[in-house]
Amino acid sequence: MNHSSNSLIVNHPNRLITSMHNIMRGFRKLSSYLYPQSISELLLQLEEVTTPAQLTGTVNKLQNLFWKLPDREQAVFRKNLMHILSMHVLQGVQEEIRLEAAGWLRLFVQAGLVTQPEEIFVTLVTAAVRSAGGSQTAARNKQQAYLKLIFECFWPFRHPYPAYTWQVFPTNEAFYPLAPLFKQGNYAIQDALIGIYAELPALDDQEILEHLLPVALQWSKHPDVERRRRVANVLARINQESAQEALCRLQSDADPIVQESAKTAAGYVRKA
């Protein structure tokens, strides 16, 4: 080895290592191009990812392959994909990977690519309930993240361009485990729960009312205008005298925005 080569190794070791990494990266890209992975291989790789970036990269590769298949074959492989993502959400060791997988499940529901969306709702509800570990602040932040994803999964059921029919709308039972979270007394969590339960057609299940109704009645009299405005849609879905009296009272609220919200909600009651 000549002097210049020795100088490169001794004086610029990082540069040499970087060059070797670039060469190896190029080889991997070429190998991936010449010998593309099969769907089965990618699904197995998805099970073993250790970072959110790996998870997203693998899912994107699978998506590219899925679009080239007939609809029936797509459905079979996509079901396997949903299963693996759900396993990451419920059993993943790293919170970052669990949330990344949950975000993908939400996205597939919004795209209308899930045949049984209730299964995804159940997965996300379970994750929200289980996310109570760690410090109080960290637990609430995790719960808020999952509750937000749950709420966003309702979007493809809405007009004017619903991706699903009401026949596959999740049953109230799927949301029973969330109701006890009201007892935490945290405004952000309660606000997220109010948004979720306002999406359900009716709220007369005792498993829900036991926790929801006291909070809804409190909000109907709260000094905060935003709470009074938001709770109207929940009160409209509760077939109980106390809830209907509160909704009637909000229609004469001192704030015009609250009045309008309550009147719109009362219209929902008449249609129902």
Tell me, letter by letter, the H, E, C secondary structure of the chain: CCHHHHHHHHHCHHHHHHHHHHHHHHHHHHHHHHCCCCHHHHHHHHHCCCCHHHHHHHHHHHHHHHCCCCHHHHHHHHHHHHHHHHHHHHHCCCHHHHHHHHHHHHHHHHCCCCCCHHHHHHHHHHHHHHCCCCCHHHHHHHHHHHHHHHHHCCHHHCCCCCCCCHHHCCCHHHHHHHHHHHHHCCHHHHHHHHHHHCCCCCCCCHHHHHHHHHHHHHHHCCCCHHHHHHHHHHHCCCCCHHHHHHHHHHCCCCCHHHHHHHHHHHHHHHHC
For the whole model, what pTM was predicted? 0.84
Distance CA 197, CA 166 (A): 16
Task: Using 50 as the pLDDT threshold, list the residues of the chain that sit under it.
Answer: 1-10, 27-35
Distance CA 261, CA 245 (A): 15
CA-to-CA dists, residue 249 to 203, 231, 239, 255, angstroms: 20, 12, 16, 12
What pLDDT shows up at residue 37?
Answer: 82
CB 269 within 8 A of CB 250: no
Q: How many residues in total does the chain contain? A: 272
Question: Which superfamily is assigned to 178-272 in CATH?
Answer: Leucine-rich Repeat Variant (1.25.10.10)
Question: How is residue 234 written in tokens?
Answer: 């929940």
What pLDDT shows up at residue 175?
Answer: 98
What pLDDT shows up at residue 32?
Answer: 46
What pLDDT shows up at residue 34?
Answer: 41
What pLDDT shows up at residue 268?
Answer: 80
Give the pLDDT confidence of 218-252 residue by residue, as tens digits. 999 999 999 999 999 999 999 999 999 999 999 99
What pLDDT shows up at residue 266?
Answer: 93
What pLDDT shows up at residue 22?
Answer: 61
